[in-house]
Chains A and B, each alone.
Chain A
């Protein structure tokens, strides 16, 4: 007769594969997110600058200065309308010819400041200014420095977190609600087998998860993976174990689905925000950083980015991995101590 551990693991595989929702959130959703964010925040080779020329005596002439330059999208509009368009963000800057050239723009908007500099430069030259120094441009857009490159390791980390917390925590709570845990614990089943199967089930989907997300990044966005695939796998495995442990802890006493949904959100949402999934956590005030760096997802994301983007080896990642392991180990021990089967 087949071994209990094997049977329990097979059950986890079967129930996962037969659950369309789980497949969607684990495999499809991260790719959709990658595509969506990748398109929204793609590095545009030539950013169009919208310029409104306030209608007046010299408006046609001013506009004609900018005609040849593809960077500018110029419109001549009545002054009141131009102000309205500026307020709504339809244009970045207004230029008015009075006694002098007047630029109207919002200095807190980066595209408006860029428009101010570029527009002034173009108009001054068109009006006859001569540049005093010879310049030449060497343009560099390397894969590895783009937003999508930053994003994909972050999404990978986020997915590992979600998979562990939802995959383990929700499954356990669901089984407890259905009294299935109680039924199982009334059999001679070894409780450790149950736990191993649960976490083993989670680990089995690690490789397809990694392959799909990194593969999508490579195929669609030309993601270059600088470090070793094995290092990525090891770090991801440690991350998946850590978040499985957290999932166990969060679910160790929950008796209702509402409870586990609330608790899991309470654990995952701060890390979505603070741990540098979508943007660098360095943007938070410096006092926050020590705390942010204690979060497991921060360390997982940092380690993944170091390997994927900078080609770091595993030996450079000992500290983050230890912090992750500490989170995972402590969660697991506490979960076992408090676990409620019935």
Chain B
């Protein structure tokens, strides 16, 4: 069996009065059958555009796309649609229909698939089966969207930001459904801007920025790529309380430190062995007649991978989006 998804030099350009925007800019992707693959990146990175091209909802400007070995060419479109399941970023289902009626309608579009009752059970909405969609909570509505994606028993499942805007409990419930897919060896493509989500769910992730894949691998591989498993963060002050200003590179020579970075007023070091690096760091600080104002060590996350690759934080971008809105 070939790859579930294949993209070669995928491009999508939007022309507007303000000029052209390349939402997807030479993206390459191969997703193996049976894996849970994450597309990771900030808002506006091109995740949704890529997914909608794969789903046949948008036409690429150029590049090659294969889904389940088929292409969107008009002739095979129905065949692809029969075999994929989709949850869009925001779909508001008909509020005056019950959960069961909604799932039943979606079931009727597919040649073969699962019993609506079973799918509703898979997403834990049995108690809401007869409730109107308009009465569901955000988490329940999102699970209904997943149920509609699953009812055709798809070989390939697309979930575009399935947990955005959900509370932690609802997120965990959606995660359980996605994990369940993996145990059935169905391919899942999920987009998210939550790093922890990708880390928990995905076999492999592709980090996307400005319409391109900038890193690809399993979460562990990506974390190893940045050359250490731990992050040490600290702030420095002079003895008189003024904040100290050393260049970040001055810590580069310390034992087991693989990279250094200024972060706000403080510093962030990527280290392999904290029990070796920390005494060396404290020695050096004392030699410089400085004091530690803050010290924290933690495991490297995908978030750090993204920051290392782009020099930006995902959280910053979200804040910027909120400010713009």
Contacts and interface: CB of A to CB of B under 8 A. Distances in A.
B57 A182 contact: yes
A342 B52 CA distance: 11
A187 B94 contact: no
Given A182-B88, A186-B55, A342-B57, A15 B109 contact: no
Contact of B97 (A1, A4, A11, A187): A11
Nearest to B102: A11
B225 interface: no
A285 B165 CA distance: 61
A4 B108 CA distance: 5
Contacts of B86: 183, 186-187
Given A2-B104, A186-B55, A186-B88, A180 B97 contact: no
B96 A14 contact: yes
A322 interface: no
Contact of A179 (B92, B96, B104): B92
A7 B148 CA distance: 15
A178 B91 CA distance: 6
A15 B97 contact: yes
Interface residues of B, number: 28
Which of the listed residues A2, A18, A188, A189 has the most CB atoms from chain B within 10 Å of its own CB? Answer: A188
Contacts of A178: 91-93
A33 interface: no
Contacts of B78: 188
A255 to B, nearest CB: 14
A8 B108 CA distance: 9
A47 interface: no
Contacts of A188: 78, 81-82, 109-111, 152
B82 to A, nearest CB: 5
Given A14-B101, A15-B97, A187 B106 contact: yes
A186 B160 CA distance: 13
B110 A182 contact: no
Contacts of B108: 1-4, 6-8
The range of chain A's interface size is: 20 to 34
Provide the main secondary structure of the chain B interface: loop
B102 to A, nearest CB: 8
A180 B57 CA distance: 13
A284 to B, nearest CB: 42
B91 A18 contact: no
B57 A15 contact: no
A185 interface: yes
A1 B110 CA distance: 10
A131 interface: no
B14 to A, nearest CB: 14
Interface in B60-94: 78, 81-82, 86, 88, 90-94
A15 B55 contact: no
B214 interface: no
Contacts of B92: 178-180
A19 interface: yes
Interface in A2-26: 2-4, 6-8, 10-11, 14-15, 18-19
Contacts of B110: 187-188
Interface string A144-181: 00000000000000000000000000000000001110
Nearest to A11: B105
Interface string A184-207: 011111000000000000000000
B56 interface: yes
B107 interface: yes
Contact of A186 (B56, B90, B104, B111): B56
Contacts of B106: 187
A19 B96 CA distance: 8
Nearest to B96: A18
B96 A187 contact: no
B294 to A, nearest CB: 45
Contacts of B91: 178-180, 182-183
A183 B86 CA distance: 8
A182 B107 CA distance: 17
Nearest to A6: B108
B26 to A, nearest CB: 24
A185 B55 CA distance: 10
A186 B57 contact: yes
Contacts of A186: 55-57, 81, 86, 88
A18 B152 CA distance: 27
13 contacts: A7-B108, A8-B108, A10-B105, A11-B105, A15-B94, A18-B96, A182-B57, A183-B91, A186-B57, A186-B81, A187-B81, A187-B86, A187-B109
Interface of B: 55-58, 78, 81-82, 86, 88, 90-94, 96-97, 101, 104-111, 113, 148, 152
Closest 6 A/B residue pairs (Cβ): A178-B92, A7-B108, A18-B96, A188-B81, A189-B109, A4-B108
Interface of A: 1-4, 6-8, 10-11, 14-15, 18-19, 178-180, 182-183, 185-189, 342
Given A4-B108, A188-B110, 15 more contacts: A7-B104, A7-B105, A8-B105, A8-B108, A14-B97, A15-B94, A15-B96, A180-B93, A180-B94, A183-B91, A183-B148, A186-B86, A187-B106, A188-B82, A188-B109
